[in-house]
Amino acid sequence: MTHVRVLGVDPGLTRCGLGVVDGESGRGLRSVAVDVVRSSPDAPLDQRLLAVHLGVLRWIETYSPDAVAVERVFSQHNVRTVMGTAQASGVVLAAAALSGLPVATYTPSEVKAAVTGNGRADKVQLTAMVTRVLRMSDPPSPADAADALALAVCHVWRGAAQSRLAQAHAQMARGGSR
């Protein structure tokens, strides 16, 4: 796998985590930028979603990622929270599609397993590992920002493996090895 720049996005209406990572699997990774797009819980839903959408588009324009990694929405006990997360995820996916970027989605347990080796790691463990892997002097904060960086790291590492598998399948379909 060649060098890749990935925008990781932890979707949310109040805080949408954004993190850009440069690197390639098996080599050192580097944090390029990390932040959150914020919207007021008192603002109308359409304006909150627009803020997330425009924030992601600005990051795509500013950092020119090769791919976008988004946390896959999963069932939560709070239906209102999962609905807001799903809506925010939708505008993130639309921003990536509008920009012509490939998108990968990962569940929280997939990200935790890829970054820490433990799919049940807690937020503290995930943040500590992201800080170490990206050789950051301070842990990224808030947790949404750390999660966004973890998504980007996961994609760099897992994307390389998926790319090798796709190449192997293509090679087999062509009739053997090279």
**Diameter of the chain by CA atoms?**
60
Active site residue 144: yes
Active site residue 24: no
* 163 phi, psi to nearest 5 deg: -65, -45
CB atoms under 10 Å from CB of 93, counted, come to 17
Active-site choice (35, 42, 46, 71) = 71
Active-site choice (10, 24, 66, 138) = 10
Q: Choose among 5, 4, 6: nearest CA to 69.
A: 6
Q: Cα(74)–Cα(39) distance, rounded to whole angstroms?
A: 22
CB atoms under 10 Å from CB of 76, counted, come to 11
Active site residue 110: no
Active-site choice (35, 138, 144, 147) = 144
The residues annotated with a catalytic role in the active site are: 10, 71, 144
